[in-house]
Structures are given as C-alpha cells and as structure tokens.
Amino acid sequence: MLRQETIFVTGASGLIGKATVRYLLEKGYAVKALLRSGSLSPFYAHKNLRIVRGSMEEILNCVSEMRGCEAVVNLAANQYHPTESFVVNVKGVAELIEAMKKSKVTRLIHISTLAVRLAHKGVYGKTKSQADDLVRKSGLDWTILRPSLVYGEDPKTIFTTIAAFVKSLPFVPVLGNGEQPFRPVWVEDVAEAITRSVNNLKSFGKEYDLGSKEALTLFQLIMY
C-alpha cells in the first residue's frame, strides 16, 4: 500500500470479526471496529485500531466514522430471533449501504452464509438471502463471501458453530445416512480471504463460497 488504508468492520467482536481485525492490522491496514456501546473490547490497544461504538440498528450514525475509509467489511449478523434477524441482517444492511453512499465509501465486502442455498433456509438463511439481494443491487463495488462452518483455536468452537448452524434451521437436514459432506473452514483462512478481497478488482461483483479442501460428513463433524 502506498498509503495506509482504513477499513471499517462491523460485527468486529465475533469469531470471524476478531480474526479479521487482527489480520488487517498485521497487513498494515488501519481499522475502525464497530462494537456495541457498553461491550468490552476483545482487542489489545493498537495504534492503528479505533473502536467505534454503535450497532447495525444505528449504523446511519456512523457516517462520519466511515468517511475516508477504503472499504467496509460487513460481518454483523443475528441468527436466531426473527425480528432481530430482520433488523440486523436486512434493515441493517440497507442502512449500511445508505451510510456508505453518504460517506462516499464504494467498496463493500459482505459476509453471507451457505444457508442461503438451502431449500429450507430458516430465519437466518432467509434474511441473509434478502441482504445479499440488497448488496447486489446497491451499485457499490461489492464482493459476497459465504464461509462454510467456521472454527477457531478453541476446540469447543467447532461444536458451538455446528450447534448455532443447526439452531438456525427449522429442522436438521440429515440426508440418507448422514454422510453428506461439509467443508469446515479455519477462521484465519476466512480473515485472509476477506483481507485479500479488499483491493482485488477481480472480485468486484463476484460471490465466493469458502470451505476447506477436505470434506467431512455430518457424523464426522459431530464426532470431531
């Protein structure tokens, strides 16, 4: 980078958010991380990190903080409650797009989910699918990334992720004998993909699924 670029990150306190903020800082970016008011920051102090207090419900209040940023990474999401999922995943994205246009930021990396491809999407899949449509029609320089099940250093994370994924569905889609494949992805690989997308012109207007090379069955994941 000839000049230091600043990236605005929503959902910064989540598993992917924390890894992405750290990765961006390691690669020389400055980061503005959106955290809810009153929540504890999961980050150590860093000269290139600024904590912005707010939420997707009030994202229009962040226009001044977005101004001058190179890109926005949208990791904010609600998986369970129907009303809150709509407010964060759909209304929040619509207002995020509006805030970006007001602040003249044109680059958006939007993190979606593979649940949008399911026949029975559940609340999370349906609202994220609606959000994806808003992003496609936004007129911004967007990229949509859809990670598979994401795991981190904590060995319990894989179980937490599977449980959250299953709870987001109206029922568990066990096909046949439960041998359908999943491709869980390491959180640092997702953070790297997000960071590489920031200035990758070839990714503008593109959608990518993120997963590991090795496929595991549902039963293998449960026994992991």
Q: What is the pLDDT of residues 73-120, one digit of tens each?
A: 999 998 878 889 999 999 999 999 999 999 999 999 999 998 888 877
In this prediction, residue 148 carries a pLDDT of 85
Using 50, 70 and 90 to split pLDDT, how confident is the model at 173? low
154 or 196, greater pLDDT: 196
Is the confidence at residue 216, as pLDDT, over 90? no
Is the confidence at residue 65, as pLDDT, over 80? yes
Which residues are CB-contacts of 177 (< 8 A; sequence separation ≥ 6)?
Answer: none
In this prediction, residue 79 carries a pLDDT of 82
46, 1, 2: which is closest to 12 by C-alpha? 46
Structure tokens at 149: 């099940």
Using 50, 70 and 90 to split pLDDT, how confident is the model at 166? low
Give the residue-averaged pLDDT of 142-156.
Answer: 81
In this prediction, residue 210 carries a pLDDT of 92
Is the confidence at residue 219, as pLDDT, over 80? no
Is the confidence at residue 183, as pLDDT, over 80? no
- State the amino acid at position 168 in one-letter form: S
Is the confidence at residue 132, as pLDDT, over 90? yes
CA 83, 86, 87, 88 torsion-angle sign? positive
CATH superfamily of 6-151+185-211: NAD(P)-binding Rossmann-like Domain (3.40.50.720)
Angle at 22 between CA 204 and CA 99, to 5 degrees: 50
Using 50, 70 and 90 to split pLDDT, how confident is the model at 151? confident
Which residues are CB-contacts of 150 (< 8 A; sequence separation ≥ 6)?
Answer: 15, 16, 161, 184, 185, 186, 187, 190
Structure tokens at 50: 């600024």
CA 104, 102, 56, 66 torsion-angle sign? positive
Name the most confidently modeled range: 11-20, 168-177, 182-191. Answer: 11-20
- State the amino acid at position 195 in one-letter form: T
Which residues are CB-contacts of 180 (< 8 A; sequence separation ≥ 6)?
Answer: 173, 174, 217, 218
In this prediction, residue 41 carries a pLDDT of 86
29-61 pLDDT per residue, tens: 999 999 988 888 888 889 999 999 999 999 999
In this prediction, residue 208 carries a pLDDT of 96
Using 50, 70 and 90 to split pLDDT, how confident is the model at 157? low
- State the amino acid at position 158 in one-letter form: I
DSSP H or E run through 146: strand 141-147
In this prediction, residue 117 carries a pLDDT of 86
